[in-house]
Structure 1
Amino acid sequence: MRQTKPNRRQIFTVGAAAAAATVAASTQTATARPAATSSAEATEFAAATSASSGPYGSGVAGSWTNATRAISTAAQFQKTRETNGGFMFGDSIGVQDGKALAARLLSRSGTQLAVNNWSSRPSSGAVDALQRAASAYGLPRRVLLASGSNDIFDPPKFAAQVARAVSIVGQNRTLFWVNLQVVRKAVSAPVQLADQRNSSWLNMQLYDAQEKYPNLRIIRWAEWLWVKPYRLANYLRDGVHPSVPLGQDARNELIVQSLLS
């Protein structure tokens, strides 16, 4: 799963092509069968299906405080810190895939992973959780942020959250961040195009931050999907969440390879 570093033009060009391919595929399959949706994701991105597309075209973020979550116990965080494992902070993709990721990482290297994953949560909430964990337990040398899908509703605020996370992690640890690919199949074609535009915008902010912060490493999930057009349909079950097990295994393997490199 070789990863390449794109430039700004490539991010926009390939992202636009991905959006066109995904919108076309969604239009062709929309009447065949609905995308699978679990109760944990029933409210995910719900506000974007309203009449308003919001200031950036993807809709308006709804409340996430009562959404489904998967959070390790305090004892698990403490043990992971003491054994210098990894801390993960994510959204509904992490709620779905975090347990399998922790098992894969443990079996591969014996490395523990403590998680704080919360559906529908934007990166501001994930970084708040990172700050609380740093204060309560201290941090291991590896911190994983698998967040950003819910920032498509307000992309300009994302860069500040990346900077906050880098500051909290500090120069002597590595911050890993999984980048974004969001084109929801359940919304209209114009909103899908906005989703891809905003995903690319968020990814560009990550790459800009990487130029400033040498301890920030981007896990390039978006580029891995883009390089083979069929992956957008086969590895994402709803345009956001990885299919299980195909997409889940692929994304988790990218993450494990990065954490252990």
Structure 2
Amino acid sequence: MKPNRRQIFTVGAAAAAASVAASAQTAAAAPAAVEFAATTSSTTGPYGSGVAGSWTNSTRAISTAAQFEKTRQTNGVFMFGDSISVQDGKALAIRLLNRNGTQLAVNNWSSRPSSGAVDALQAAASAYGLPRRILMASGSNDIFDPPKFRAQVDRAMSIAGRDRTVFWVDIQVVRRSVTATVQQADQRNSAWLNMQLYDAQTKYPNLRIIRWAEWLWVKPYRLLNYLRDGVHPSVPLGQDARNELIVQSLLS
């Protein structure tokens, strides 16, 4: 089957980003404020990025039941994310509220793969019902086992149903703390995850992809200036840029 334009861009950009990230391996990075999934050993695992460790005791940011109820009642946004969202979620909530009064309720958990994020989506649907917009900012921790990701996207879309819009932030991971070989695996797996997202979009017309990874690839210097460690946005530069992409998509 002939690849489409998106596939060609993704593969080409992934290769370019891997090269840039590898050259920056020794660049200074700010101390991590939140966790990325740790590997359980030195093995690179079956997909080259390592093997994910436990996430259940990692830092988290979860709104109160009252905030979830208020957000649903006012047609706000439910967010389910990982450590990037633990770092950036409060700033995103403020940005949304200041822009047009939109409420944000969050369930963000560091090191959590998308299976856990979708479990949280299911729990929120059962406990509160769902608003018309759902933000999935998850996938960075799926680089350790990319084949399982598409099933989680399908689960999320099934839970949301056809009458709600699911916004999903695409994935860019090239950890500066690992070897060049593992960095290449990180980028390859990030591209693999993104391809699954774009493929899912052809099936679900109510799936909207927020193109954070693409925004970074368009100008490769952004990979250094807007990511503090190859995963988490720098603050405030990267945080502001990513959150603005999300707000523009949610309010369009």
For residue 36 of structure 1, report the CA deviation from its aligned partner.
1.8
Q: What does 1:77-92 align with in structure 2 at a 5 Å threshold?
A: 77-92=68-83
Could you tell me which runs of 5 or more consecutive residues in structure 1 were left unpaired when the two chains were aligned: none
Q: In the alignment, which of 85, 90, 113 is matched to residue 122 of structure 1?
A: 113
**TM-score for the superposition, normalised by structure 2:** 0.97
- Is the contact between residue 37 and residue 112 of structure 2 (CA under 8 Å) also seen in structure 1? no
- Identify if the C-alpha distance between structure 1 residues 140 and 6 changes in structure 2 by more than 3 Å, giving closer, same or farther: farther
SS in 1 for 2:108: strand
Aligned equivalent of 2:96: 105
Partner of 1:18: 17
The 2-side partners of 1:8 and 1:174 are apart by: 24
- What residue in structure 1 maps to residue 141 of structure 2? 150
Identify the residue that residue 47 of structure 1 maps to in structure 2: 39
2:182 aligned with 1:191: yes
Deviations 1:219-259 (A, max 9, x none): 00000000011100000000000000000000000000000
Question: Following superposition, which runs of at least 4 residues in structure 1 exceed 3 angstroms of deviation?
Answer: none
Identity %: 77
Counterparts of 2:68 and 2:37, CA distance in 1: 29
Distance 2:127 2:240 in 1: 32
Find the counterpart in structure 2 of residue 235 from structure 1. Answer: 226
SS of the counterpart of 2:241? helix
Shift of 1:6: 5.2
- Look up the match of 1:71: 62
Q: CA deviation at 1:37?
A: 2.6
The SS at the match of 1:145 is strand
CA distance in 2, matches of 1:83, 1:37: 38
Contact 2:59 2:109 in 1 (8 A): yes
| Closer, same or farther: CA 39–234 of 1 in aligned 2, 3 Å | closer
Task: Return the offset for 1:39.
Answer: 4.9
- Paired residue secondary structure (1:40): coil
Do 2:37 and 2:110's aligned partners in 1 also have CA atoms closer than 8 Å?
no
CA distance in 2, matches of 1:113, 1:169: 17
The letter of the residue matching 1:177 is: W
CA distance in 2, matches of 1:153, 1:38: 20
Q: Which residue does 2:217 correspond to in 1?
A: 226
Letter in structure 1 aligned against 2:250 = L
**Which residue does the alignment assign to 1:210?**
201
Shift, 1:26, TM fit: 1.6
Spell out, residue by residue over 1:8-33, the C-alpha distance to the aligned partner (whole angstroms, 9 max, x if none). Answer: 12111111111111101224x2xxx4
Cα offset, 1:45, TM superposition: 2.9
User: Bigger shift: 6-15 or 71-80?
Assistant: 6-15
Separation (CA, whole Å) in 2 of partners of 1:87 and 1:147: 13
The answer to whether the 8 A contact 2:37-2:55 is kept is no
CA distance, structure 2, for counterparts of residue 11 and residue 80 of structure 1: 35
**2:122 match:** 131
Aligned residues: 249
Aligned-residue CA RMSD (Å): 1.2
Amino acid at match of 1:150: N
Q: Deviations over 1:13-69 (max 9, x none)?
A: 111111111101224x2xxx4x2233532xx23217x42000000000000000000
